[in-house]
Amino acid sequence: MTTQDGSTKAEVETSNNGKVEAPKGVGSVIGAVFLMATSSIGPGFLTQTSVFTVRLGAAFAFAILISILVDIAIQLNVWRVLGISGLRANELGNSVIPGLGWVMSLLVFAGGMIFNIGNIAGAGLGMNAMLGLDPKIGGGISAVIAVLIFLSKRAGVALDRIVVGLGAIMILLMLYVAIVSQPPVGDALKQTVLPEQVDFAVIVTLIGGSVGGYITFAGVHRIIDSGQTGVENIKNISNASVLGIVVIGIMRVLLFLAVLGVVATGVVLSKDNTAADAFYQAAGEFGLRAFGLVLWAAGLSSVIGASYTSLTFVTTQKTDVKLRNWLTVAFIVVCTILFLLLGTAPQKLLIFAGAFNGLILPIGFAVVMWAALFRKDLLKGYNYPVWMKVIGVIVLAGTFCMGFRSLSGLAALWA
């Protein structure tokens, strides 16, 4: 187990009864928040948000609001159950139904590996836009940076600081472009509650992109690894789960406003690279370079998040930290080799991984809600709030609808 200062569980001082003391401070909590948030904010996030802004205009603000509220409901329950139990999602799944956790692990690992190819490609394209490097070279350099993070002697603290730094870079650059593009903020605020049009398919896509697949569990697994679990840490766990969604929401809103400001002037953006064109139209050559930096940061942070979380699903808390870090390095290396061989992430593979992600959320969330409703023993006797149970069950029904959509996607893919 890695504490907030990067030390392992064995290095933490123990009390007279031999129990490991919980690490102090908020470093790993903030790291967990940004790990989840930056895992969500990948190349696909930038593309989806830009395309939907062009399609819906200011009315997209309503879809963002609803997706944020649903995301908070999901993460509040997921982080609370896993955080109190001290069990990773796959461990909780095995506790509910023996073997179910390993099914979840297979889905997460397969989806994480395929998406990581896309994340490395995104980082490579970001370096291309930022510095003019060949995308393959840029992707390779980005992968090396990710590897060095996990090879660091203080990998835990390096992980926390890097994802926070990358998140800050993306937010600041998005804020700058959002200001420069001069969006119609008043219209956006109005349509946040009174939209001219509502597209539920867009809302579902946003939810899947924010908390689908491994993203749901990235932050809380980091919390568990830091040792800040149990009933005594409920407040920190709950606050962190909401803050993570807020960070995602801020990024989504800033990108939405940046693109909306350009669209509102009547400019027709490129369909092939909508986000990059929006940045260029708003801030010229600097805007294009800024987009490259944002895309690179989004790709690199997603590589880190996908790799870390995928390996937490195929290892246990008893696995030696150094061994897990080496396995994570191997995971990144394999994904990088596949990226270099394939050039870009094949469309069918990404669709397949996306369908997998759509299946992970309802299965994982069902396990969480089962524990909340019927397994008080796993929650160490904690009295789960009734209002959270009610909201959780309602949202669970919605995630199963998303799961059926994913199954339809798989059927169409292999038809």
Give the per-residue SS3 of 340-376: HHHCCCCHHHHHHHHHHHHHHHHHHHHHHHHHHHHCC
pLDDT, residue 11, reads 38
pLDDT digits (tens, 9 = 90+) for 258-308: 999 999 988 888 887 888 899 999 999 999 999 999 999 999 999 999 999
pLDDT classification of 157: cutoffs 50, 70, 90: confident
Does residue 336 carry a pLDDT above 90?
Answer: yes
Residue 267: how many CB atoms within 10 A of its CB?
12
The answer to whether 85 and 288 have CB atoms below 8 angstroms apart is: no
The SS3 assignment for 2 reads: strand
* Higher per-residue confidence, 5 vs 200: 200
pLDDT recorded at residue 272: 76
The enclosing H or E element of 59 equals: none
Closest CA to 221 of 202, 244, 199: 244
**Which among 128, 155, 156 has a CA at the least distance from the CA of 142?**
128
pTM: 0.86
pLDDT digits (tens, 9 = 90+) for 123-156: 998 999 899 899 999 999 999 999 999 998 887 7
The confidence score (pLDDT) of residue 349 equals: 60
Tell me the domain boundaries of the chain: 27-413
In order of 9, 148, 216, 375, the CA distances from 110 in angstroms are 29, 23, 16, 29
Q: Which one has a higher pLDDT value, 99 or 210? A: 99
Q: What is the mean pLDDT of the chain?
A: 85
pLDDT at residue 256 tops 90: yes
Residue 23 pLDDT more than 80? no
Q: What CATH number belongs to 27-413?
A: 1.20.1740.10
Q: 414: Cβ–Cβ under 8 A, 6 or more apart, which residues?
A: none
- Band (353; pLDDT cuts 50, 70, 90): low
The string of pLDDT tens digits covering residues 66-95 is 999 999 999 999 999 999 999 999 999 999
Cα separation, 4 vs 25, in Å, equals: 8
pLDDT band at 242 (very low <50, low <70, confident <90, very high): very high
Residue 177's CB: how many other CB atoms inside 10 A?
Answer: 25
Q: Cα-atom radius of gyration of the chain, to the nearest Å?
A: 21
**The predicted structure's pLDDT at residue 355:** 64
20 bridge partner residues: 14
> How far does CA 104 lie from the centroid of its chain?
17
The mean pLDDT value for 370-378 works out to 93
pLDDT confidence band for 204 (50 / 70 / 90): confident
Is 115 in contact with 310 (CB distance < 8 Å)? no
Assign 12 a pLDDT band (cuts: 50, 70, 90).
very low
Judge whether residue 7 has pLDDT over 60.
no
Residue 22 confidence (pLDDT) above 60? no
Sign of dihedral through CA atoms 324, 208, 297, 272?
Answer: positive
